[in-house]
């Protein structure tokens, strides 16, 4: 995944797309920091994916603050950054697909609880869904 990001970084540099360039640089920096923290040369793709998701989550929170502060310029910039980062995630499950999966998990294991459902989703579909949405659906479906 890091190589993919570096390739896109070069493209953004050639295209002189500043927002995209800065966004990819910040993610690569976060990946580099994490690899130094873990004392490994190359982070596995699942950890890189988690970092990209964390960066998206951070920017979504910043968008909320930008809206409260009535900063449309910042909101637009952050929205572009989020869209850029989402390109590097695997295909995301829609809310109906996610609900169907949770219902199927419940049908297979009637004693399934919320934490068990979230654990199974994480094992089978890591990086393919919004955790907050999955949590809300699981609460509704599992009771």
Q: How many structural domains are present in the chain? A: 2
88-139 pLDDT per residue, tens = 988 888 889 988 988 888 888 888 888 888 888 888 887 788 788 888 888 8
Closest CA to 25 of 45, 11, 42: 11
* DSSP 3-state of 64: helix
User: What pTM was estimated for this model as a whole?
Assistant: 0.74
- One domain for residues 120 and 76: no
Contacts of residue 34, Cβ cutoff 8 Å, sequence gap at least 6:
43, 47, 51
- One domain for residues 16 and 60: yes
65-78 pLDDT per residue, tens = 999 999 999 999 99
Q: Which two tokens stand for residue 98?
A: 């996610």
CATH number at residue 38: 1.10.1510.10
The domain in which residue 120 lies consists of 95-142
The dihedral built from the CA positions of residue 73, 76, 82 and 83, taken in this order, carries a sign that is: negative
What's the chain's average pLDDT? 89
Cα gap 88→127, rounded to integer Å = 10
- One domain for residues 16 and 81: yes
Q: Which whole-number Å values give the CA distances from 40 to 7, 32, 97, 127, 132, in the listed order?
A: 21, 10, 36, 22, 30
């Amino acid at each position: 995944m890091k190589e993919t990001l570096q390739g896109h970084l070069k493209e953004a540099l050639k295209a002189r797309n500043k927002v995209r360039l800065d966004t990819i640089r910040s993610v690569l920096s976060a990946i580099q920091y994490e690899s130094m923290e873990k004392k490994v040369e190359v982070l596995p793709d699942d950890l890189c994916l988690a970092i990209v998701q964390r960066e998206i989550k951070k920017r979504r929170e910043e968008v909320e603050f930008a809206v409260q502060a009535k900063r449309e310029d910042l909101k637009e910039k952050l929205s572009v950054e989020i869209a850029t980062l989402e390109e590097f995630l695997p295909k995301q499950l829609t809310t109906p697909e996610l609900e169907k999966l949770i219902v199927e998990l419940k049908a297979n294991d009637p004693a399934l609880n919320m934490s068990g459902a979230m654990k199974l989703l994480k094992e089978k579909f890591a990086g393919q869904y919004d955790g907050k949405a999955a949590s809300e659906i699981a609460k509704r479906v599992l009771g």
